[in-house]
Amino acid sequence: MDLMKKLSSKNFFVFNLVLLGALFGFALAFLTFSCTQPGNKAQAQGASTVVVPQDALSAAENLQTAFRAISDKVLPSVVELKTVSIRRQQVPNFNGIPWEFFFGRPEEREDGNREREFRSQGLGSGIIVRKVNGSGSKPATYYVLTNYHVVGDANEISVALNDGAEYPAELVGKDERKDLAMVSFQCGDDLPLAVLGDSESVMVGDWAIAIGNPLGFMSSMTMGIVSAVGRTGGPAGNINDFIQTDTSINQGNSGGALVNIRGEVIGINTWIASSSGGGSVGLGFAIPINNAKRSIDEFINKGEISYGWLGVSLIDPDREVIQALNLSGKRGALVSQMFLGSPAERGGIQPGDFITALNSREVRGMNQLTLMVGELQPGERANFQVIRDGVQRNIQVRIETRSNNVAAENSKLWPGVYVIPLTPSIRESLKLDAKTEGLYVGQVIARSPAAVVGLSRQDIITAVNGEKVKDLASFYKVMREKAGRDIWFDVMRGDSTLETPKYKR
Say whether both 312 and 404 belong to one domain.
yes
For residue 211, give every residue at least 6 positions away whose Cβ sits within 8 Å of its Cβ, in sequence order, or none.
71, 74, 75, 78, 125, 219, 220, 221, 256, 257, 259
CATH number of the domain encompassing residue 254:
2.40.10.10
Residue 449 CB-half CA count within 13 A: 22
Answer whether residue 409 shows pLDDT above 80: no
Say whether both 462 and 483 belong to one domain.
yes
Percentage of residues in the chain having pLDDT higher than 90: 67
* Domain count across the chain: 3
Q: Is residue 139 part of a domain?
A: no
Buried b (16+ CB within 10 A) or exposed e, 461-474: bbbbbeeebebbbb
* pLDDT for the residue 484: 76
Say whether both 452 and 476 belong to one domain.
yes
DSSP state, residue 201? G
**Residue 369: which H helix or E strand, with range?**
helix 366-374
CB 194, CB 127: distance < 8 Å: yes
Residue 119 has a CB neighbour count (10 Å cut-off) of 10
Q: Is residue 350 part of a domain?
A: yes
What would the 3-class secondary structure string for 401-458 be? ECCCCHHHCHHHEECCEEEEECCHHHHHHHCCCCCCCCEEEEEECCCCHHHHCCCCCC
Angle at 408 between CA 404 and CA 413, to 5 degrees: 115
CATH number of the domain encompassing residue 455:
2.30.42.10
Mean pLDDT on 272-295: 88
Say whether both 276 and 333 belong to one domain.
no
* 3-class DSSP state of 109: coil
Mean pLDDT on 326-332: 92
Phi/psi of residue 265, each to 5°?
-75, 120
Asked which of 408, 426, 449 is the last residue of a domain, the reply is 408
Q: Is residue 434 part of a domain?
A: yes
Per-residue pLDDT tens digits for 207-237: 999 999 999 999 999 999 999 999 987 887 7
| Strand pairing class (156-160; 78-91) | antiparallel
Q: Of residues 98 and 462, which shows the higher confidence score?
A: 462
* pLDDT for the residue 7: 38
Angle at 268 between CA 264 and CA 274, to 5 degrees: 130
98 pLDDT band, cuts 50/70/90, is low
**Residue 91: which H helix or E strand, with range?**
strand 78-91
Asked which of 408, 435, 462 is the last residue of a domain, the reply is 408
What residues make up the domain containing 458?
Answer: 415-504
Say whether both 326 and 420 belong to one domain.
no
Question: Left if phi > 0, otherwise alpha if psi is -120 to 50, otherwise beta: which for 46?
Answer: left
Per-residue pLDDT tens digits for 359-402: 999 998 998 899 999 999 889 999 999 999 999 999 999 999 98
Bridge partners of residue 224, in order along the sequence: 208
Residue numbers annotated as active site? 149, 179, 254
Q: Is residue 353 part of a domain?
A: yes
Per-residue pLDDT tens digits for 437-470: 999 999 999 999 999 999 999 999 999 999 999 9
Cβ burial, residue 141 (10 Å; 0-12/13-18/19+): middle
| Strand pairing class (242-245; 220-231) | antiparallel
Q: Is residue 430 part of a domain?
A: yes
Q: Is residue 294 part of a domain?
A: yes
Asked which of 386, 408, 430 is the last residue of a domain, the reply is 408
CB 430, CB 458: distance < 8 Å: yes
Say whether both 318 and 289 belong to one domain.
no
Q: Is residue 257 part of a domain?
A: yes
Q: Is residue 136 part of a domain?
A: no
